């Protein structure tokens, strides 16, 4: 890579490498490495490093940082909820968006065959390069620097987008699932009530109740949950109501709620 390309890539990543060879390896696809080795076929020990091993390590670093961050951010989430959210954040579908925003395709070192077949735009190559770059940052600067990169580029923007869109992923949108469940049972929609707000302004804890009434409008069940935001608390309270409905005896007409928790296990 030319010096100006490395500098431009580092600016986009927000990290300056002490060992330039690390970033060059991270963007070198195996097709380029094998092509260069073939040009030096007479030199038996000639070896060009590609990004495959770095991609393996980067995948592990990404999983660790993401797991730790979600564990700390969402202390009231259960294992299944945390696993689903992590699966989304480390998915190819999400990571390709990050790789495209960082314009990694421009910096890939590809063999002629991959170049001609549109390798710079291939999802697998871009995601592998992103994970390899993460590993390179980890090896060059340490875990804290790698964590900052993941939070800044992979986790924080997506969680903010999700919060703007309603506070949860569709697969963990318990409020919507509860709305559908009570409709199918002919029950009134639940009421969400903020019953307590505690803590300093910058670190509040909200306690919310999700109140379910029977068909005659009499109280039937209350889910109560705490969260760092009202939306988080409402989602957890809604999850409790769904769990209750799933275990509720069938009505005389044979109806019972079909809980999405059963599907998601």
Q: Catalytic amino acids?
A: 59, 131
Helices (H), 74-173: 79-89, 92-101, 112-116, 123-141, 143-150, 156-164
Sequence-separated (6 or more) residues with CB below 8 Å from residue 18? 140, 141
Count other Cβ atoms within 10 Å, centred on residue 107: 21
Give the count of alpha carbons within 13 A of 48, CB side only.
22
Give me the helices (H) in the chain, please: 3-13, 20-26, 30-39, 52-73, 79-89, 92-101, 112-116, 123-141, 143-150, 156-164, 174-185, 230-247, 260-264
Distance CA 10, CA 220 (A): 58
């Amino acid at each position: 890579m030319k010096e100006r390309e490395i500098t431009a890539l580092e600016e986009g990543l927000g990290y300056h490498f002490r060992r330039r060879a690390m970033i060059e390896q991270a963007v070198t696809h195996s097709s380029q490495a094998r092509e260069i080795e073939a040009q030096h076929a007479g030199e038996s020990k000639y070896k060009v490093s590609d990004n495959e091993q770095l991609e393996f390590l980067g995948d592990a670093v990404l999983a660790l940082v993401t797991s730790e961050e979600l564990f700390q951010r969402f202390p009231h989430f259960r294992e299944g909820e945390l696993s689903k959210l992590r699966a989304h954040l480390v998915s190819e579908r999400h990571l390709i968006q990050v790789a495209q925003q960082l314009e990694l395709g421009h910096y890939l070192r590809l063999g002629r065959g991959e170049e001609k077949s549109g390798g710079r735009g291939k999802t697998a190559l871009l995601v592998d390069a992103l994970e390899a770059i993460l590993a390179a940052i980890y090896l060059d600067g340490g875990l804290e620097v790698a964590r900052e990169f993941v939070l800044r580029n992979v986790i924080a923007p997506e969680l903010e987008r999700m919060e703007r869109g309603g506070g949860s992923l569709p697969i963990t949108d318990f409020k919507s699932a509860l709305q559908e469940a009570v409709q199918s049972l002919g029950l009134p929609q639940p009421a969400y009530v903020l019953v307590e707000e505690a803590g300093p302004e910058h670190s509040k804890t909200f306690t919310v109740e999700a109140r379910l009434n029977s068909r005659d409008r009499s109280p039937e069940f209350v889910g109560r949950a705490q969260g760092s935001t009202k939306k988080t608390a409402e989602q957890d309270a809604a999850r409790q109501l769904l769990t209750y409905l799933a275990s509720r005896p069938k009505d005389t007409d044979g109806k019972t709620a079909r809980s999405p928790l059963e599907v998601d296990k």
